[in-house]
Structure 1
């Protein structure tokens, strides 16, 4: 086992193998991605009776279905009869193959395309041709395999091991209170950008957790938030919010916008910026007029897909002059800078001489990241 090197004034990071080793990533998949609530989409993307969506989470295909009562359910996307995939994932249809009929009805009933076993939106088996009338046929034992499903702040979260899931609120923790004034659940997607980043998901989390890098990496951002350059980003009041430069109130090229601030914000929140990392895969960056939400999809030890959603008030989006680009184009530049430097870190982690890194004092939030990983991985 690698021996941790101690340097006075610096805290040791996770070992480099934690970011590069395929075996370690496989263990994280079992200890974290299948054992924690994972953000996957916005509620508005599965809206109305019969709405459904397939997502791939930690290598598993999951079917989300909304019933006619409005309740959202999630199941492993596999029929209990012979293991057929119930619904296709986006882009799964192969050229030349016949397109099978939709497996989900307008009321949310799920019908397997193979032998027509039919399930309720909640996953109970309610019909199996030529077997349903058999008194000994144990329908109650053949429900779809459940996946935990919960909604918070307009986001949908899934848990691949629902029998061992804590309540979602417990995982979100005090972050909910810190951003309670922002109308997250009422916001809508105004734009989205997807990124493929050649870096480990933890590198992205650590990068989001500190602003020691902001001065060297983000000149445009620091022009809006000079405090990010001051003392390496130390001493910032994250809970109160980060101040913009004089006259600026939001993350856009000018620091201003035509959009009204969200109703219900306090005076600080109208002119400051807040950020939250909801472990393990949701970043929230909250301005007075918009929220940039980042959903991370860990794909391998050195590969992460990031979906960036730009959320706005419905009333603002309904205006004839609504334009997301003042925020989204600014964020795209900042994001690309982050992904580029994270990929440099990933490359460096592969150096045979570099066994571990260190956290400087102004990166103390990453001690929380180290604790989070250690608590879930232990000696794995």
Structure 2
């Protein structure tokens, strides 16, 4: 297929969204190497708090240590490879094996090997007197952990992980006035989207589709109907219609704006895409954080977390429904159209899609993938 003349440019080939080979390449070169957002620091607050996470098909244990640090480990005992935390498996057999994170110790239920929350081996029954056995050689396999703005990121291949500052790019500067670390999760919606994770990122990164797909959103931001918003200054934030300050059906809310915002930020909206799996949309009074969990070449679980300032959440009568209901509608519109693309590009005649000039930001996904396949 030849290149279309003019400003149109080819997308990734359709096979990048459809084949088992492409899915394996994504896992090998991106999902197991990059810094993936997996949650918020508030998910594990106290020492011993922990989460068991499925990250790119790997089972990972995220814990808060006694010193208050976050650590992450592969959820596999160094002795014989048993999963240390696996309550679902035990329940399947009607059992509760004595293992997991117990009293500040990570204990394997198989032979009783015990690890500190930092992953160091503390005890291996009947091996303490062996002259050639050194516990320092048998710590849990580590996973990289980083934090920014209250978000937690993991890298499964720490020794080859990219620099974290480079991953964040300009987001800390552009969102510097927003008190992200002081926000708390008030509501979560999980969506099962039958579409490739890259397709969802591309959809987030352009607004050419906003006019046809999001009429309610365009009522709040009329400029989205013009040239897909390509004329807007995304760096400074997106202006709402007159009288609107946030993403709700009315464009208004009774919640106070975040402290520290500029006058422009109080009436504008900002968005960030932190590759490979965090889409962040920030209004003056709340944020919607989208964590993408790729599960197959044609399936992505999207975890949408709605964040509000902790002081607003503490007020009597706090209600998040105006923002949540609006976003849920916009989200479902996005997921529906993404699934249409996933199904349509499987047609035998469709080798490539094309980007128009209005979809300029979508081209990032081509460069992002190509840079990691070298």
TM-score (normalised: structure 2)? 0.97
Is the 8 Å Cα contact of residues 218 and 334 (structure 1) preserved in structure 2? yes
- Residue deviations 1:106-132, cap 9 Å, x none? 33x211111111111111111111112
Alignment partner, residue 256 of structure 1: 252
Structure 2 residue runs without a partner (length 5+)? none
2: distance between equivalents of 1:276 and 1:77? 31
Deviation of residue 102 (structure 1)?
4.6
Distance in 2, matches of 1:305 and 1:269, equals: 31
RMSD of Structure 2 on Structure 1 (CA): 1.2
- From 44, 53, 62, give the equivalent of 1:64: 62
Q: Indicate yes or no: 2:283 matched with 1:287.
A: yes
The answer as to 2:96 corresponding to 1:99 is: yes
| Distance of 1:116 and 1:95 partners within structure 2 | 21
Selected match of 2:136 from 137, 140, 162: 140
CA contact (8 A) 1:154 1:185 kept: yes
Q: How many Å separate the matches in 1 of 2:98 and 2:113?
A: 14
* CA–CA distance in structure 2, aligned partners of residues 13 and 136 of structure 1: 57
2:333 — aligned with what?
337
- 2:102 is paired with a residue whose SS is coil
Partner of residue 28 from structure 2, selected from 27, 30, 39? 30
Kindly provide the CA deviation profile for residues 218-251 of structure 1, in whole angstroms up to 9, marking residues without a partner as x: 0010001101111222211111000000000000
Q: Quick one: structure 1 residues 92 and 362, their matched pair in 2 at CA, closer, same or farther if it must change by over 3 Å? A: farther
* 2:308 match: 312
Matches within 5 A, 1:7-86: 7-86=5-84
In the aligned structure 2, how far is the partner of 1:166 from the partner of 1:351? 36
Q: Give 1:374 shift.
A: 1.0
Alpha-carbon distance between aligned partners in 1 of 2:129 and 2:187, rounded to the nearest angstrom:
50
C-alpha contact (below 8 Å) 2:208/2:229 kept by paired residues: yes
Give unpaired runs (5+ residues) of structure 1.
none
Q: C-alpha deviations, 1:69-96, integer Å up to 9, x for none?
A: 001111110000011100026x554344
Q: Check conservation: 2:90, 2:97, Cα contact below 8 A.
A: no
Q: For residues 123-138 of structure 1, what are the structure 2 equivalents within 5 Å?
A: 123-138=119-134
Shift of 1:169: 1.8
1: CA distance between counterparts of 2:275 and 2:249?
A: 29
* Residue number among 314, 322, 325 corresponding to 2:321 in the alignment: 325
The answer for the alignment partner of 1:215 in structure 2 is 211
Q: Secondary structure at the match of 2:139?
A: coil
Deviations 1:329-379 (A, max 9, x none): 11000000000000000011101101001111011001222111111124x
Contact 1:4 1:12 in 2 (8 A): no
Q: Tell me whether 126-135 or 273-282 shows the greater mean CA deviation.
A: 126-135
CA shift at 1:297, angstroms?
0.5
93-102 vs 155-164, which moves further: 93-102
More deviation, 97-106/215-224: 97-106
Q: Say yes or no: does 1:184 pair with 2:180.
A: yes
Q: For residue 104 of structure 1, give the secondary structure of its aligned residue in structure 2.
A: strand
SS of the counterpart of 1:7?
Answer: coil
Q: 2 CA distance for matches of 1:192 and 1:264?
A: 26
1:113 aligns with one of 77, 101, 109? 109
Counterparts of residues 349-364 of structure 1 (less than 5 Å): 349-364=345-360
- Check whether the contact 1:51–1:106 (CA below 8 A) recurs between aligned residues: no
